[in-house]
A and B are shown apart, each in its own frame.
Chain A
């Protein structure tokens, strides 16, 4: 920071500090109670600190089931979103056709709509078509908003990728597959990685759509919700919460890093 930058007045600093405290303190409490020796209530201060809940959590099969399901759902919906979102972005940015803007809007809609609407509409559609709720109905639900994230990232990158670059590749002897492999993919790769990670993180902690589209299965967030109702081994939930924070925060940080790095390489190409 430059030394001649004007210093913020102390009142503003105080307000900013209070705001941050208000947002972050509850999260810190969640972490703290993961170490509490009291298992039934969240009393303050915690009567004692212990690491035993980590061992308990490790040995609870229901935690493992929920975690596995969440990872699987997130991975598969992200994979579907990567393929469909990229194809859609390529079509919208690479060609002109009637209704292009409408399609662009419709693709983005699932993330603009409240999750509850997506959830209700999917649930009624599934029951109307007599599709039993299963792992795949959760995946479908999640894919609707995962596609948006990938699409948005990809479409922004496609827009900055010069159309003549694809023609240049073909001009120099690359067939369609080689053009994709050597020119298109390296140029949109970081955007896809960023979009994919964001999609994964979104899917991993999704509650609302999952509630409407799941059968008996419990993803990790749903499991936590159930767990809070029961006053037994409460700190286990806190341990799991810590894991969720880490699992979702890392991809988001990486996605941020990659999309920023991508900007620089592409920005350097401007005429």
Chain B
């Protein structure tokens, strides 16, 4: 796999603030890559470094093998979809999409044809004469997308592309973005703070926290084998188990994560082991029910199939799970 973008011990410091700290990252060609993290974790800084709006304090960035140190954004074969779309309000949709072609002095007929093709790709064919101000949020987003892909960049960067859309539109756009990426075959790198979005869309996910790259892996790896409490906590709603607790059930004094859906219930009336507890909360989620179970001071969440045998509040239950579902994490705590 060729590297589309590679970061070698890249740091970006703003005074004393380490927005990005010694990050090593390889993004493969044609990959749909997500950068996930809470706000201020460095994911957006990372994107801006690749786009060329920021320069690394230390380290090196390569785009398809070429070092891009000092190369301004307008000479990088990389385009960005901005969080606020950043459409030009004084131009209509077609002029917005044609902008990069106009700068390249492509002739008018070709320009119009390619702009229309890009608009077709984002399902906005025929909208060329509208003004950005006349479009809905979702449509503006599509224009921003069309404007960024009309140039056929080698890498497309998306900064929280779906952040401003409502839930339904967001789900629809997630699928469309994936389809678009398959059609174009170019590398997509997108930044998000929504773990669901990252897991459902990306081929691989990089999790950032406090400027550090915490974990990189496929969505499944990140979800089932988080390498730290932070990842386990941030990606989904995993149970994070304290070392003392893990020692009693697994014999090792380490932090561990346990997915709520990996827990099943064994009814127990009088039994008293480390895995027996009391149901303290119950939320009905439709097909499943989410239970809060207190086990000797530790609160665990379990997701069980809804039905008649879901224990009531205050019921005594014993939990069970497969040993391999308990994922021991690297940090000792």
* A and B interact physically: yes
Q: Is A134 positioned at the interface, with any CB of B under 8 Å from its CB?
A: no
* B134 lies within 8 A of A172 (CB): no
Q: Which of A122-130, A178-186, A225-233 lies at the interface with chain B?
A: A178-186
- Asked if A167 CB lies within 8 Å of chain B CBs, one says yes
Judge whether B134 and A265 touch: CB under 8 Å.
no
Q: If A268-B133, A271-B137, A271-B164 touch, does A170 touch B73 (CB 8 Å cutoff)?
A: yes
CA distance A57 to B147 in the complex (A): 60
> Which of B53, B72, B73, B91 is most buried by chain A, counting CB atoms within 10 A of its CB?
B73
Contact A171-B79, Cβ < 8 Å, known A183-B88, A186-B90, A265-B133: yes
- Whether B53 and A167, one on each chain, are in contact in the complex, defined by CB atoms closer than 8 angstroms, is yes
A171 touches B89 (CB 8 A): no
Q: Which residues of A contact B103 (CB under 8 A)?
A: 172-174, 178, 182
Give the nearest-CB partner of A163 in chain B. B86
Majority SS at the chain A contact face: helix
- A90 near B: Cβ within 8 Å? no
Residue in contact with B151 in the complex, picked from A165, A168, A173, A186, CB distance below 8 Å? A173
Q: Does B84 contact A (CB under 8 A)?
A: yes
Structural contact, B84 and A169, CB atoms closer than 8 A: no
Contacts of B132 in A (CB 8 A): 268-269
Q: Tell whether A187 is near chain B: CB-to-CB under 8 Å.
A: yes
Task: Out of B84, B100, B104, name the residue touching A164 (CB < 8 Å).
Answer: B84
Verify B147–A268 contact, CB threshold 8 A: no
User: Can you name the residue of chain A whose Cβ is closest to the Cβ of B79?
Assistant: A171
Q: In this assembly, does A266 line the interface, its C-beta being within 8 Å of a C-beta of chain B? A: yes
- How many residues on chain A are close to B (CB under 8 Å)? 23
Residue of B74, B89, B102 with highest tally of chain A CB at under 10 A: B89
Set of chain B residues within 8 Å of A271, measured between Cβ atoms: 84-85, 137, 164
Which residues of chain A have C-beta atoms less than 8 A from B151's C-beta? 172-173
| Interface residue B64 (Cβ < 8 Å from any Cβ of A) | no
Residues on B lying within 8 angstroms of A by beta carbon are 51, 53, 72-74, 78-80, 82-91, 99-100, 102-104, 131-134, 137, 147-148, 151, 164
Chain A to chain B contacts (Cβ below 8 Å), 22 pairs: A162-B86, A164-B84, A165-B86, A167-B80, A167-B86, A169-B88, A171-B73, A171-B80, A172-B74, A172-B79, A172-B103, A172-B148, A174-B74, A174-B103, A186-B88, A187-B89, A265-B89, A269-B87, A269-B89, A269-B132, A269-B133, A271-B137
